[in-house]
Structure 1
Amino acid sequence: MEIAAPDCASEAGSLCQWVWDNTGADVLARNSDAFASAAIHILLILVIAVIARFLLYRAINRLTRLSNKDDAGVALRPFQAGARLALGGGLTTDRRAQRTQAVGSLLKSITSFVVICVAGVLILAELGFDIAPILTSAGIAGVALAFGAQNLVRDFLAGICMTLEDQYGVGDTVDLGSASGTVVAVSLRTTTLRGGDGTIWHVRNGEVLRVGNSSQGQAVVTVPVTVPYDSDTDRAATIALQQATGVAQSPEFEAAVLAEPKLLGITDVTPGAITLGIQATVVASEKDGFIRAVRSAIRTAYERARKDDPTADFRPPVLAAGPGPDARDRV
């Protein structure tokens, strides 16, 4: 039985006629215009989605590049404010690059998700699906998910805020309340710390109520120098200050020292010993190394002074008498 040609096939030069002549498929020929229109619309949606994603990615890349500059505009200051505050007014290039890279990656992920979702809904609409129930179901599912996974949502939101505010990064020594140690990994849901004893702690970002970061900003360090009670404290203080200043001006610590060392004078008097204080302001991440270098330099200078003048004895009593339980804490 011969199938009758559809009415649209009688229109010369029409898509329906071309499909009917080449395929003989009645359904395909009658719906060829609708299929072609839907295909063109879907292709247009995909092209617009790709262009929109490209432009948004380009804007994000430009935003992150500009936020690395010290002379960024007012609109970019929120990206720098937290880190500037953390580092006492200055932000190293590496630190800023790491932070902007993390923020840029987060923004790109959100952008891709939004563009894909919008494009997917529009494509379903072009295919003839009623998107109203889909949107309603998605809204209900979102509410249900939000209630059922409140902790997970809170962890992600807290992780986003921590990343944007640059509260800490990999390598920082932090106290998160429930755990403390060196940050080894930061994700949107958890932060991984390595404790002083090597224990690995996984802390949910939503459970972090306070953050104490001892690796950012500036630190005022005081180096105690203990000498025997009957020693020449003026000479001992002069030598200690000279050595601390020398360490501060050395190439290793010149950039880390924010305020030159100063002498605090006698800070403590105990039976048989006097404690002098040397104070300096340094970048927090360099404070331990600076203190060790100053102690080593002062000890070496005192030993040299004793060799030049055998009557001078700047050694702490516990070291002069031999190793004791507190010897490691004295210069």
Structure 2
Amino acid sequence: MYMFGIDFSQFTTTYPLIASALKILFLFIAFAIAAPIGRKVIATTLKKAGKRESISPARTKTLEKLIQNVYTYILLFVFIAMLFGIFGLDLAPLIAGAGVIGLAIGFGAQGLVSDIVTGFFILLEKQIEVDEYVSTAGYSGIVEEVGLRTTKIRSFDGTLNFIPNRQLEGISNHSRGTMRALVDIGISYDENIDHAMNILQKICDEFQQDVRFVEGPDVLGVQSFGSSDVVLRLLGRTENMEQFAAERDIRKRIKEEFDKAAIEIPFPHQVNITKESSK
């Protein structure tokens, strides 16, 4: 018997236990070497193919994670098959038995089949890809991996969520196309609305030179009347995932300019009345 170029036939007869232990050791070493090398080859090949075929980096990364998962499963199956061979076990009866057991538990594994089928169509239809910001199944965050059975979404607080693919319903993909940067700001009812809007428009003109914006921003006008303020709205369109930082910067500039112009931004007040008992 030859394994990894070594003749084990004579050695196996003389020292069967030692020979089996060496075979298992060589098998573990081969698995430990083949697994990272294979994943590296897959990543390198897909990156080259992505550049050659003009495939988006997100799509390339998604396929890379998926193919690496499939490769790991196949490698694990080969490892188990070779391990059975070392112990002299015939795989045919085991496979047949597994088929019967698989049929018996098949009804209980419908969720697993549903996960795989749903994951396949998600990849086929390119609904989500790695590094995209999505909302689905009650979670919002960045997609880290789209697998055969589960999808990993990391929330903005750092939590990594493992979601079965069958639960990925009503997916909202926030990373396709330009995004909306919207800012509502309230001013006192006593303030001059036209004066406040002129200041806001000057701020918008400043941000129109910002490379993050592809359109606007501009002042839309009075959005609503609150209990203690008149709400004015600004709206623009930014590059993907730049809207949050842009909104924060706009709010900062509004506060600075309103302070200079002595324009009040109302906030809740609490009045305490104390009654003194008469003597």
TM class by shorter chain equals 0.5 to 0.7
Hey, what does 1:180 align to over in structure 2?
139
Within 1, Cα distance between the matches of 2:159 and 2:53?
Answer: 41
Hey, what does 2:221 align to over in structure 1?
265
Q: How do 1:5-16 and structure 2 match up within 5 A?
A: none
Pick one of 120, 128, 134 that aligns with 1:167: 128
Residues 105 and 183 of structure 1, relative CA distance in 2, 3 Å threshold: closer
Deviation for aligned residue 1:104? 2.2
Q: Say yes or no: does 1:324 pair with 2:268.
A: yes
Residues 231 and 247 of structure 1, relative CA distance in 2, 3 Å threshold: same
Normalising by structure 2, report the TM-score: 0.58
Hey, what does 2:49 align to over in structure 1?
66
Q: Say yes or no: does 1:208 pair with 2:152.
A: no
- Say whether the 8 Å CA contact 2:207–2:217 is kept in structure 1: no
Within 2, Cα distance between the matches of 1:142 and 1:262?
Answer: 62
Partner of 2:186: helix, strand, or coil?
strand
Partner of 1:209: helix, strand, or coil?
coil
Pick one of 152, 156, 163 that aligns with 1:191: 152
Deviation for aligned residue 1:278? 1.3
Q: Mark the runs of 5 or more structure 1 residues left unpaired by the alignment.
A: 1-22, 24-53, 81-92, 122-129, 307-313, 327-331
Q: How do 1:218-257 and structure 2 match up within 5 A?
A: 218-250=178-210, 254=211, 256-257=212-213
Structure having the larger proportion of residues in helix = 1
Structure 1 vs Structure 2 CA RMSD: 4.9
Within 1, Cα distance between the matches of 2:236 and 2:139?
Answer: 26
Residues 271 and 132 of structure 1, relative CA distance in 2, 3 Å threshold: closer
- Say whether the 8 Å CA contact 1:195–1:201 is kept in structure 2: no
Q: Mark the runs of 5 or more structure 2 residues left unpaired by the alignment.
A: 1-9, 11-36, 82-89, 271-279
Partner of 1:167: helix, strand, or coil?
coil
How many corresponding residue pairs?
A: 235
Q: How do 1:30-41 and structure 2 match up within 5 A?
A: none
Q: Structure 2 counterpart of 1:182, which letter? A: G
Hey, what does 1:299 align to over in structure 2?
255
Partner of 1:285: helix, strand, or coil?
coil
Partner of 2:223: helix, strand, or coil?
strand
- Say whether the 8 Å CA contact 1:184–1:194 is kept in structure 2: no
Q: Say yes or no: does 1:100 pair with 2:60.
A: yes
- Say whether the 8 Å CA contact 1:244–1:297 is kept in structure 2: no
Partner of 1:249: helix, strand, or coil?
coil
Deviation for aligned residue 1:280? 0.3
Within 2, Cα distance between the matches of 1:199 and 1:109?
Answer: 22
Normalising by structure 1, report the TM-score: 0.51
Within 2, Cα distance between the matches of 1:148 and 1:270?
Answer: 55
Q: Deviations over 1:220-244 (max 9, x none)?
A: 2332233334534333222212213
Q: Say yes or no: does 1:158 pair with 2:118.
A: yes
- Say whether the 8 Å CA contact 1:60–1:107 is kept in structure 2: no
Within 2, Cα distance between the matches of 1:58 and 1:195?
Answer: 32
Residues 189 and 325 of structure 1, relative CA distance in 2, 3 Å threshold: farther
